[in-house]
Structure 1
């Protein structure tokens, strides 16, 4: 199999398409944020009260908005306490090296890529640091400053409730994230943009994602159909992407954590670009 260095050398010096990175919860797990679908993740264990597929829906939010917000304010606390790791910072370095050819599509909703300094980020599942009106009369907007993070057992105060109401119509604000009973769209989740990026990608790095949601899978499939290069960076070797890409001639794999692999990749890009 052709070495990754040789592939990158050709792509950087002879091609014109995007060099795209698709990130999932694995990169944020290394900053201490729990994942949904890993063996010890929230998807498997659920919470004290419900499983994600139950409370992570627009339907449930309409029934129990305070309970959903109680959980999301706990997540707000986890996100604020988390810090970007070496993998996040390596992607910032790679963006600086690649310039306009760099694209980052992320399933993550924590904003850690932006906090690390990445500029060209497309959040296909939204961002928990943003809210929007549940009746769609405004948003996304920054999280209301008067609404504070919570421990999971803490109830909402009246100040919290008031701060989580739309200033235009008085309806509940909702987290700016894609719920399990909602569909991707371009307005909030870069649906068309993600496909366009995939269609013009020369090499795709799939980082810390298991392939359990439809748009990331379709991004990989689009790149695969175009017979372009795909690199999987994941300490596990039995994800959906490994299965669907088995035998794919232009597949490379780095079976290690993103915080280990991405700094190496940044150094490799630097070596090629400055050679």
Structure 2
């Protein structure tokens, strides 16, 4: 694995065009920080959901019908995210960014903010930011979630002050988290759809870390990288939809090891190339 990785990394490192090193990360990279993956059996969707499936609960339609329930769940996750700490994988990605500088790009599906807290700067958060809010009625503007609103314990209700702060100052309707729900489409303003596809077009190598490809923009990013001659490196502990996409392609590497172990290897290869 290391020899194959070294060869393709060196090729991309010496290219003058379409030479970005892009990392696409998902929930799996935050599992070691204690944040359950969304589609696992470990309970991320249980709080406040009445045991609905994510595809039912995590929708704009459900929010409009049950805003307090969704906000209670969202603030439970806020506390979970704030309690969690960046893990070794987040820190290895930061080291890789420091080595590559402008040749590095990170596209993440995660809304937990751990990549930024680790120090990564060149980042596109394509599923939005849970620390931001916008009017559910379509009033203009994206705002920071008010600092006065604290994260919640599992059975803790919204306060009257929370509810007041979560109402739009223009129309009085509920504000909502600035994240992508299952019944919504990717756009540029919140989800960096066009920017991330442009990055994919110019990527000599796309490292896919801790994500299965269950949503369409990540899959389009991989397809675009392949279309323009880039290599896909699938770093996951199990086969997934990306594996199916690349199984018959020449420009691919499939790695079934932990993200931390593999990212350390990638960082060491880059350090050796930089010293040559």
Same fold, judged at TM 0.5 (above): yes
What's the offset of the Cα at 1:18?
A: 1.2
Q: Could you list the per-position Cα deviations for residues 210-268 of structure 1 after superposition, in whole angstroms to 9, with x for gaps in the alignment?
A: 010000011111112223211111111x2111112112111112211212221221121
What's the offset of the Cα at 1:273?
A: 1.3
- Matched position secondary structure for 1:131: strand
Within 5 Å, which residues of 2 pair with 1:80-229?
80-229=82-231
Matched length: 274
**Which residue pairs with 1:234 in the alignment?**
236
**Which residue pairs with 1:256 in the alignment?**
257
Instruction: Return the alpha-carbon distance in structure 2 between the equivalents of residues 256 and 224 of structure 1.
Output: 23
Instruction: Return the alpha-carbon distance in structure 2 between the equivalents of residues 259 and 28 of structure 1.
Output: 11
Q: Could you list the per-position Cα deviations for residues 146-172 of structure 1 after superposition, in whole angstroms to 9, with x for gaps in the alignment?
A: 111112221111011112112333221
Instruction: Return the alpha-carbon distance in structure 1 between the equivalents of residues 144 and 241 of structure 2.
Output: 35
What's the offset of the Cα at 1:76?
A: 0.4
1:273 is the counterpart of 2:264: no
Q: State the TM-score, normalized to the length of structure 1.
A: 0.94
Q: Could you list the per-position Cα deviations for residues 121-175 of structure 1 after superposition, in whole angstroms to 9, with x for gaps in the alignment?
A: 1011001111112123243222111111112221111011112112333221101
What's the offset of the Cα at 1:37?
A: 1.9
Instruction: Return the alpha-carbon distance in structure 2 between the equivalents of residues 175 and 86 of structure 1.
Output: 28
Q: State the TM-score, normalized to the length of structure 2.
A: 0.93
- Matched position secondary structure for 2:189: helix
Instruction: Return the alpha-carbon distance in structure 2 between the equivalents of residues 259 and 4 of structure 1.
Output: 15
What's the offset of the Cα at 1:47?
A: 4.6
What's the offset of the Cα at 1:82?
A: 0.7
1:18 is the counterpart of 2:29: no
Contact 1:137 1:169 in 2 (8 A): yes
Q: 1:133 to 1:102 in 2, by over 3 A?
A: same
Instruction: Return the alpha-carbon distance in structure 1 between the equivalents of residues 76 and 47 of structure 2.
Output: 17
1:36 is the counterpart of 2:38: yes
**Which residue pairs with 1:79 in the alignment?**
81
What's the offset of the Cα at 1:50?
A: 2.2
Q: 1:42 to 1:149 in 2, by over 3 A?
A: closer
- Determine which of 26, 29, 33 is the counterpart of 1:27: 29
Instruction: Return the alpha-carbon distance in structure 2 between the equivalents of residues 4 and 103 of structure 1.
Output: 18
Instruction: Return the alpha-carbon distance in structure 1 between the equivalents of residues 11 and 46 of structure 2.
Output: 42
Contact 2:86 2:114 in 1 (8 A): yes
Return 5+ residue gaps in structure 1 as ranges: none
Instruction: Return the alpha-carbon distance in structure 2 between the equivalents of residues 91 and 265 of structure 1.
Output: 9
Return 5+ residue gaps in structure 2 as ranges: none
